[in-house]
Amino acid sequence: MGGEWGQSAICPESAQEWTIQVGQHLLDMDLGAITKYSALHAKPNGLILQYGTAGFRTKAEHLDHVMFRMGLLAVLRSKQTKSTIGVMVTASHNPEEDNGVKLVDPLGEMLAPSWEEHATCLANAEEQDMQRVLIDISEKEAVNLQQDAFVVIGRDTRPSSEKLSQSVIDGVTVLGGQFHDYGLLTTPQLHYMVYCRNTGGRYGKATIEGYYQKLSKAFVELTKQASCSGDEYRSLKVDCANGIGALKLREMEHYFSQGLSVQLFNDGSKGKLNHLCGADFVKSHQKPPQGMEIKSNERCCSFDGDADRIVYYYHDADGHFHLIDGDKIATLISSFLKELLVEIGESLNIGVVQTAYANGSSTRYLEEVMKVPVYCTKTGVKHLHHKAQEFDIGVYFEANGHGTALFSTAVEMKIKQSAEQLEDKKRKAAKMLENIIDLFNQAAGDAISDMLVIEAILALKGLTVQQWDALYTDLPNRQLKVQVADRRVITTTNAERQAVTPPGLQEAINDLVKKYKLSRAFVRPSGTEDVVRVYAEADSQESADHLAHEVSLAVFQLAGGIGERPQPGF
């Protein structure tokens, strides 16, 4: 079963207790209509899914009831927060046959954890218990059912997405919610729409045109300032994973063509979504996508299937492939922001947020060379996003290319003032920062927005892709998966960098790590697959490979490995 899992949710079970509590809520929901429509979106018997790291994800044919119920839940969340809530139908980098759904909270953020539990309960309720669970959520969360509700919906290009988003709409309407269906959108575009709508248009206009204009205006302003650039003509090859990114980038490109020319590959006209292409493929296989011809030193990037991840890469003159991942993107961005602040004369607190997967060289470079404080959180965008909100300027990236930068309201205002009041050089830097702030999608990591930020910085600093890559050298690393009977036996602490259980595992890892130079290793249960993930890095590829293998064996022995023992060699 491809469904995600998270912490198991405690769903209410006592029907008796429930009937005493419900009171007004029974009267405020058209239970007859809910039952009738729910039967049209019936749950397959015995199917259990979890609202995981990025919502529900599994084979598309198992998701109809989940979509309908997420429509219902979005209405409740909207009533409770008195705000517009988003529902995105996508399974990101998963195969084309899969699909998924996630809810977007008022400020464009991921759904609050307590509501993730409600989502799991609601999705798994048997038909006859559905109403009870709905009412229970309303009671627990003190939802005023008389409140209006508004839900916005977006979907990716999967063949199943259109029908599934219609099921979301059925759920929204049966609970009396209003909705706007944006149709095809990238995931970060939907986050942007939600953010715009709940901030009275201050963040931007909640239309696709508004998104294109806001970002492109900032980008063109920035690139006008680039006097000399590393590359004579700014052009970039973009692998769109045969997904929604291709459609949206094609619509957008004429808005920013003054500053950058993009050449699209894997644009969905022939290949299959995410098949042998896209950011996930490139990052995990450490090789270029199929369907893209790369000349030496040409700058290339890949989006994932819903365009919320980006990685860069190039071939050097000897034909070697170089990957520039989220860590190096964060380094480029935070260094540039810091330089601008120095120029403006502002001492704002800037922090970089990473996960345990960040390459040790990137952390070292940021802390020791750039003198930027670095923080580590658990894997998953929501954890990084929340941590980044603690700073005046918080830059967060996962190594896999999910990330963005967040600016506090106070900083935005200060920079706006500086851009008007300061003199000459300082004013120019403040203006630049003002545009950079506009160019970031602060609601969510966004491949299109990040791409334009990166291109602007490279142009302004006159950097070639090789110069960017040369900021530091990644430590060789290896990631492996181990099959165990129940991956929940592994629990971790210290942002997933240390295993707490099973007993003896962390000690075993510590002993193995000691054998290698510049080494580090950790294990964690995946939030999206039924496996334990192993990460190791060391001073050479051989050492990283050995270490990863030895740690896999320790996991296999101590955490209930199943199937074949992990073998050396990859």
Structure tokens at 107: 């400020």
Which of the ranges 8-16, 290-298, 378-386, 427-435 carries the binding residues for ligand 16G, by CB under 6 A?
A: 378-386
Site for Mg ion in 446-485 (CB under 5 A): none
Sheet holding 532-537, edge to edge: 477-482, 532-537, 520-525
Tell me: is residue 527 an annotated ligand-binding position: yes
The stretch near ligand 16G (CB under 6 A) out of 368-376, 394-402, 411-419, 480-488 is 394-402
- How far is C-alpha 136 from the geometric centre of its chain's CA atoms? 30
- Closest of 384, 354, 379 to residue 367, by C-alpha: 354
Any known ligand binding at 511? no
Q: Which of 78, 92, 165, 302 is catalytic?
A: 92
Q: If contact means CB under 5 to 8 A according to the sort of partner, which of Mg ion, ligand 16G, none does residue 304 touch?
A: Mg ion
Q: Annotation-wise, does 399 bind a ligand?
A: yes
CA distance readout (Å), 254 to 217, 221, 225, 340, 450: 12, 15, 19, 29, 18
d(CA 198, CA 358): 33
Among the residue ranges 89-97, 348-356, 451-459, 518-526, the one whose residues contact Mg ion (CB under 5 A): 89-97
Given phi > 0 = left and psi -120 to 50 = alpha, else beta, which region is 569? left
Q: Which is nearer to Mg ion, 154 or 566 (CB)?
A: 154
Helix (H) or strand (E) holding 296: none
Q: Which residues pair with 394 in a beta bridge?
A: 351, 406
Report residue 559 CA to chain centroid gap.
Answer: 29
187 is in an annotated binding site: no
Q: Which is nearer to ligand 16G, 399 or 547 (CB)?
A: 399
Task: Count residues near Mg ion (CB under 5 A).
Answer: 4
Q: Quick check: is 92 catalytic?
A: yes
What does 297 bind: ligand 16G, Mg ion, none (CB cut-off 5 to 8 Å by kind)?
A: none
β-pairing, 491-493 vs 498-501, is antiparallel
Please state the closest distance from residue 50 (CB atom) to Mg ion, in A: 18
- Residues 304-333 as x/- pattern, contact with Mg ion by CB under 5 A: x-x-x-------------------------
Q: Quick one: tokens of 295?
A: 């000349």
Among residues 53 and 165, whose Cβ is nearest to ligand 16G? 53
- Determine the interface stretch with Mg ion among 94-102, 210-218, 260-268, 303-311 (rule: CB under 5 A): 303-311
25 binds ligand 16G (CB under 6 A): no
52 to 71, contacts with ligand 16G by CB under 6 A? 53-54
User: Rule CB under 5 A: is residue 92 a binding residue for Mg ion?
Assistant: yes
Q: Does 398 bind ligand 16G (CB under 6 A)?
A: yes
Q: Would you count residue 379 as binding ligand 16G (CB under 6 A)?
A: yes
Q: CB within 8 A of 129, min separation 6: which ones? A: none
Residues 529, 530, 557, 560: which binds ligand 16G (CB under 6 A)?
Answer: 529
How many residues does the structure list for the chain?
570
Q: Which candidate, 250, 252, 246, 245, places its Cα nearest to that of 212?
A: 252
Q: CB under 8 Å to 302, separation ≥6 — which residues?
A: 238, 239, 241, 277, 278, 279, 281, 282, 289, 310, 311, 313
Residues making up the binding site: 92, 304, 306, 308, 398-400, 524-528, 533
Q: Site residues (CB under 6 A) for ligand 16G? A: 53-54, 379-381, 398, 400, 402, 526-529, 533
Q: Site residues (CB under 5 A) for Mg ion? A: 92, 304, 306, 308
Give me the active site residues, please.
92
